[in-house]
Structure 1
Amino acid sequence: MVKILITGAHGQLGKELVRKSHLSHSIVSLGKKELDITSQDQVENVILHFKPQYIIHTAAFTSAEQCEIQRKKAFEVNALGAGIVAKTAEKVDARLFYISTDYVFDGKKNSPYTVEDKPNPLSIYGMSKLLGERLVLLSKNASIIRTSWLFGHDGSNFVKTMLKLAKMGKEVKVVNDQIGCPTYVSDLAETILQLLEKKNGIYHVSNSGYCSWYTFAQTIFEEAGFDSKLVKPVTTKEYGAICPRPEYSIMENNSLVKQGIKPLRHWKEALNEFMRKELSQ
């Protein structure tokens, strides 16, 4: 059995990876209480003890708004922590997969971002994740997996927030001038596990299709049987978030196709499955 270490194992992606892999692989799953990735001693103790063949590094400081406020923490966790994990992975010849983000791009492009496009992050979150990518790629046996707009059954995310607000029957203001690719964590986890057998590189992994946050919210309301007219469009400026976000962050999945992996299904189909599972609980 292949041994996989999953960091950030209590996050929505970490939990899904554990669910999908624990029957077919030997899994060591560690959350931040079990493993502080910013502590070189802790990381070395854990990795040298377990000697995993693969490390899927999902641990991150993912609140883009909080990253703008807690800048030091953002770089310590998303960049330096990733570098510590990568350097230690080399000591046991473990292959590392670092989960990154569409926020490494500035959103000024008007066609899908390829893995060859030069990153230019606007936010502290994006900058810290890009530095993490660069530190990870100093390792000879590592891959970067960029993804976007995650929703899953664990923790909090946009879809769950919209469902809560829909049930309250109040008007919801949602940004209409940011375009991207919603990604179902279940589909992302399956693809990451397929990539374990493929060559190292940078991969863009998101569900097919794209939309604005506003269209995404409307679709969530409709799928759950609520009145989508309760969703009102606003501009990013009107919404007033602290963190600057890319206006356009659609990523093309050609790097997957080249490795013989099918592009992920359309986000609406994935959302439909998510809703069926979520609403049947």
Structure 2
Amino acid sequence: MDTLLIVGSSGLLGSSLVKALGKKYVIKTITHTSENSDYNLDMSEPKSALKVLKEIKPNYIVNLAALTDVDKCEYNIESAYLINTRISENIALYNELNKDCFTVHISTDHYYDKNESSEDMVNIYNAYAMTKYCAEKSLKLDNVTILRTNFFGKSFSHRSIGLCDSIYNTVKNNKTLKLFNDVYFSPLSINTLCNVIDTCIEQKQPGIFNVGSKKGMSKEKFLVTFLNKCGFDNFDYDSVSVDSMNFKVKRPKDMRMDVRHFEETFNYKLPFLLEEIESVANEFR
């Protein structure tokens, strides 16, 4: 079997991806500190990164490493650069020397601020978006698929808890939620995204692609629908504008994506968001 290296394997997506692809590939995992990974090292350090990549000799790399805390990225831009950009730069160095190695890089929908945004409608509002965009630019597209995406699902990670787990537990503990009525997105379920990544590995179509669900919705509607599908009929929440939070770091409000480029290139039909919510809610019931 071919060898698949997952960088950042201990997070929300990585934990599920290891399980999803474990029967198709020889999986090797790298994290900075997780005891459950095959290698513990700082992949932002070029010599260490290239040394371990040459040792593993992967046929495929999936890069999931990311610092996604928007405020932390803004106020600790060095860490944001090292995790979000430098690791990708080191993978790009390896790919230059090993043209047969194909990489799938997980990027972000945080560039978009208009419904049905296509891949060329990039807005850089903060350090998180900047460092993720620089990562994309470091990767040469002859042997890389870049997926701009957002995802949700039940966490099987020892290190990360996702939005759904957090909201589910908050309601279960009878605490009041604050839900944004003016922030829109179109995420995929983790299970669907794992399948998408598998498809990208199989087809090896280089390029930059939006990958999300269809008929996206506000975060308020998304979470209310999710909780209803989980069996919560009555719970307390405040419907608020994101502007009321007075965030110091600017964030986009509408990250819903046009996904036709991916669908046409890969001959892959992406699901509606309501279908994804129902699928994930089934995991919580």
TM-score with structure 1 setting the length: 0.91
Give the whole-Å Cα distance in 1 for the aligned partners of 2:251 and 2:207: 25
Q: Which amino acid aligns with 2:9?
A: A
8 Å CA contact retained: 2:143, 2:204:
no
Question: Can you give the 5+ residue segments of structure 2 that lack an aligned partner in the other structure?
Answer: 34-39
8 Å CA contact retained: 1:48, 1:92:
no
- 125-134 vs 78-87, which deviates more? 78-87
8 Å CA contact retained: 2:145, 2:204:
no
Q: What are the superposed Cα offsets for residues 91-125 of structure 1, whole Å, 9 maximum, x if unpaired?
A: 222111111001123x1x3x41112x241211211
- 11-20 vs 225-234, which deviates more? 225-234
Give the whole-Å Cα distance in 2 for the aligned partners of 1:158 and 1:8: 19
Structural mapping, 1:110-259, within 5 Å = 111-115=115-119, 117-137=120-140, 140-154=142-156, 155-196=160-201, 197-227=203-233, 230-259=236-265
Instruction: State the secondary structure of the residue aligned to 1:125.
Output: helix
Give the whole-Å Cα distance in 2 for the aligned partners of 1:265 and 1:100: 20
Give the whole-Å Cα distance in 2 for the aligned partners of 1:152 and 1:266: 18
Shift of 1:87: 1.1
- 33-42 vs 151-160, which deviates more? 151-160
Matching of residue 95 in structure 1 with residue 97 in structure 2: no
Matching of residue 83 in structure 1 with residue 89 in structure 2: yes
How many residues are paired up?
274
Give the whole-Å Cα distance in 1 for the aligned partners of 2:111 and 2:90: 20
Instruction: State the secondary structure of the residue aligned to 1:104.
Output: coil
Instruction: State the secondary structure of the residue aligned to 2:280.
Output: helix
After TM superposition, what 4+ stretches of structure 1 lie above 4 angstroms from structure 2?
none
Give the whole-Å Cα distance in 2 for the aligned partners of 1:32 and 1:66: 18
Q: Which amino acid aligns with 2:72?
A: Q
Instruction: State the secondary structure of the residue aligned to 1:204.
Output: strand
Give the whole-Å Cα distance in 2 for the aligned partners of 1:32 and 1:152: 23
Give the whole-Å Cα distance in 1 for the aligned partners of 2:232 and 2:248: 30
8 Å CA contact retained: 2:230, 2:284:
no
Instruction: State the secondary structure of the residue aligned to 1:6.
Output: strand
Q: Which amino acid aligns with 1:97?
A: V
Change (3 A) 1:273 1:216: same
Give the whole-Å Cα distance in 2 for the aligned partners of 1:119 and 1:51: 34
Cα-Cα RMSD: 1.7
Structural mapping, 1:260-279, within 5 Å = 260-279=266-285
Instruction: State the secondary structure of the residue aligned to 2:164.
Output: helix
8 Å CA contact retained: 1:152, 1:184:
no
Structural mapping, 1:4-43, within 5 Å = 4-33=4-33, 34-43=40-49
8 Å CA contact retained: 1:198, 1:259:
no
Percent of aligned pairs with the same residue?
Answer: 24
Shift of 1:273: 2.0
Instruction: State the secondary structure of the residue aligned to 1:103.
Output: coil
Q: What are the superposed Cα offsets for residues 168-194 of structure 1, whole Å, 9 maximum, x if unpaired?
A: 223211111111112211111110110
Q: Which amino acid aligns with 1:183?
A: L
Q: What are the superposed Cα offsets for residues 134-189 of structure 1, whole Å, 9 maximum, x if unpaired?
A: 1113x632121100243342321211111011112232111111111122111111
8 Å CA contact retained: 1:217, 1:231:
no
Question: Can you give the 5+ residue segments of structure 1 that lack an aligned partner in the other structure?
Answer: none
Give the whole-Å Cα distance in 2 for the aligned partners of 1:179 and 1:12: 21
8 Å CA contact retained: 2:107, 2:148:
yes
